[in-house]
Chain A
Amino acid sequence: MFEAVPSWLLNKSEKEKVSRKWLVGGRSDGFSKMLFLPTTNYKLQTTNHSLLYTTCGTTPMLRWLRYFLLTVIALSLLGVAVAQRVQCQPRSACNRPVTFTPTSAEYSNAIGGFLNPDLTSPNIKLKLKRDKDEPFTAELSRTSWSPANNIELEARFTLLAKKTPTQVTAWLPVSELPLQFLQSDDKRTDIEVEYRLRISGQELAGSYETTVQYFVWDARDKKNKKDTVTHQIRVEIPPFLQLRIGDILTSGGVATIYFDYAEPNALDYVRAIENGTPLELSSSEVSRVEVAANNPRGYTVRVSVTQASGPVGSGLGVADILLFDSPADGQSIRRDSPTVGFETLVLPEDFTVFVDGDEEPGSYVFAVEFNAEINP
């Protein structure tokens, strides 16, 4: 058995026997070991012609010193291995996920804009330390969303360093590809991270998770001088359904598709009768009808047509209003999966009018109604 002993615990004669260099110790059972004693001496005694290190007794003070010494050695070894250290500040902040759990209203309001984390989310602050004032690079990436989704995460950094003035970066997209957000040679940089979601309305409803990783490295020595820190982000996207008429050109709040076959287009009407082809629109104030639904089971849009006015006794009625070459009234468009953003359902030119010559001249007005529901 052997143990390092501070020299001040040794008496004068003992100190004389101690070497301050590399020693080879051996025990009677054959054990041998090389020790390096930079600051302490050893108490030696010889027994049966073999060199034996003996224990001087383990007082609490000695035990404390031993731990201290080991800690110093471990830290110095670690410092050699890792030139950069990146840590969450405090460390516990990275143990909790950053969460986005908007209400339906918050989510709806954020479409086309952004969502901020919940107020209860931890503030992510990073402490970046270096052993030398050498340039280094900090990168950010995330894992793919689980389950898969098209959520757009963005981050912005406030960089507080000794040698350079405080900087606030632009909002940067956080993706699976590493994003370099800092190059610096400061010995210590504090980084405050802000997150937000860019909301397009295309996000699928549900609960999602990703892990964000910060990676700090020295371009000149990637083998040893790097460090990482990670934390989780959780997002809840509420379900959503929206129906809209695209690109309205009128200012009165009502958009119209016109089938105007008065002069000078009356001959087209006659040709349509002769050829048995429906009339096409002559002009439109509607560009498209669109739907967005992030329901996993998709949506159904039903079309209904009513006649609002027109000459009495005319042969032109609801059944003659065609959509995709079939009577529009009662049609339904069903999709069993979510949309990716807004999906165009109907274009104005998809409407036509069937005529066969029994129509009374005059103005007709039909109302077309789109009913949207998610598939239950």
Chain B
Amino acid sequence: MIEPMKRFLLLLLLIFFMAAHAAEIGLSPPRLELVGRPGETLTETVSILTTASSPQQIQVDLSDWTLDPEGNLLVLPPASLEFSSAAWLEPEAGDFILEADSSQEFRVSVTIPQDAAYDGTYQSMVFFTVVPPPTETQGVGVITTTRIGLTIYVTIAATEQGGSELVDFFQPDDGNLTVAVANTGNTVMRLGGFVELRDEEGNSKYRLEVPDVPVLRESERELSIPLPEGIEPGFYVALALIEDSRGGILAGELPIQVP
């Protein structure tokens, strides 16, 4: 133990750089949902804003993204996913100066390939990264950033196909129900609806809202639906009526026991 102490009598200085004024960045809207025909170029404008007191350099780059079955966002390099639209995107600039305490419009163009092989919805993300100014700390040449992502969906018109399936409905523990839904279509779908808990006589006792969440094309999503706090112990039949934003309704039934 003496040895490390001797060594650290010299110096241990750890520094985290977190962007300061330069890290403050806002985006509106943070999501674009574009629909176009093959060969068409769509251009949308978003606002990048800051209340920072000095100008900031903003770097623009692209990424792919997807959701895991629990709905967690996974960000991946551009054009690495099958349903990536990153290659179709053309941001207005690769970097720009965002003036102090200002809002600046930024254009993003999407050119849909003239290729019949593409159908349905593709997605990607445009990141705006704040490049901090050089720091005066000795020996430090660190680029520290804060990034904000613009989510982009691109749907090719007249190629949309619906389709959804209630894959599973179970009670993982005493306090939750889980619904697994598959999107077998080629566009993003959003969920809605409710799960009703009925007692042994068939009387509706509780009604649980299904959260409005997306299910990406050709993927599955597991939704955890907490049982109500203070629910009376006993036997119930859980009746799931889940709405697919494209018009379908998925129904399922599950007998459950609440201890």
Contacts and interface: CB of A to CB of B under 8 A. Distances in A.
A254 interface: yes
B13 A241 contact: no
Interface stretch (A14-22, A124-132, A245-253): A245-253
Interface stretch (B130-138, B174-182, B231-239): B130-138
Contacts of A361: 7-12
A279 B16 CA distance: 14
24 contacts: A108-B47, A108-B49, A238-B29, A244-B51, A253-B54, A254-B133, A255-B20, A256-B15, A258-B15, A259-B14, A263-B9, A266-B8, A293-B30, A295-B30, A300-B73, A308-B141, A332-B72, A351-B16, A359-B7, A362-B11, A364-B14, A367-B17, A368-B18, A370-B147
Interface of B: 1, 3-5, 7-31, 45-47, 49, 51, 54, 65, 67, 71-73, 75, 103, 105, 123, 125, 127, 132-133, 135-149, 151, 153, 188, 211-214
A364 B142 CA distance: 11
Interface size class of A (residues with CB under 8 A): 35 or more
A369 B30 CA distance: 19
Given A332-B72, A336-B211, A245 B20 contact: yes
A191 B243 CA distance: 49
A245 B7 contact: no
Given A266-B8, A336-B211, A363-B139, A258 B73 contact: no
Given A240-B28, A245-B19, A273-B4, A258 B141 contact: no
B142 A365 contact: yes
A261 to B, nearest CB: 4
A269 B1 CA distance: 11
Contact of A369 (B15, B26, B139, B144): B144
B11 A376 contact: no
A297 interface: yes
A270 B4 contact: yes
Interface of A: 103-105, 107-109, 111-112, 205, 238-245, 248, 250, 252-263, 266-267, 269-270, 273-274, 279, 285-286, 289, 292-293, 295-297, 300, 302, 308-309, 316, 321, 332, 334, 336, 351, 353, 357, 359-376
Contacts of A273: 1, 4
A362 B21 CA distance: 28
Contacts of A111: 49, 51
A376 B212 CA distance: 11
A114 to B, nearest CB: 15
A254 B132 contact: yes
A272 to B, nearest CB: 10
A360 B132 CA distance: 28
A351 B136 CA distance: 23
A366 B14 contact: yes
B168 to A, nearest CB: 21
Contact of A367 (B1, B22, B142): B142
A334 B28 contact: no
B75 to A, nearest CB: 7
A240 B29 contact: yes
Given A243-B23, A376-B123, A238 B72 contact: no
A104 B18 contact: no
Contact of A245 (B54, B136, B146): B146
Contacts of A367: 16-17, 142-145
A240 B7 contact: no
Given A105-B28, A362-B11, A365-B137, 18 more contacts: A104-B29, A239-B30, A242-B49, A243-B25, A244-B24, A245-B19, A253-B21, A254-B137, A255-B20, A259-B14, A261-B8, A269-B8, A295-B31, A359-B8, A363-B11, A372-B148, A373-B65, A374-B149
Contacts of B140: 308-309, 365
Contact of A262 (B12, B49, B211): B12
Given A243-B148, A365-B142, A258 B49 contact: no
Contacts of B17: 254-256, 308, 365-368
A211 to B, nearest CB: 27
Contacts of B3: 357
Contacts of A205: 29
Contact of A252 (B26, B133, B212, B213): B133
A259 B12 contact: yes
Contacts of A364: 12-15
Contacts of A302: 73, 75
Contacts of B135: 252, 254, 256
Contact of A242 (B14, B25, B125): B25
A241 B31 CA distance: 10
Contacts of B4: 269-270, 273, 357, 359
Contacts of A261: 8, 12-13
B20 A248 contact: yes
A274 B143 CA distance: 34
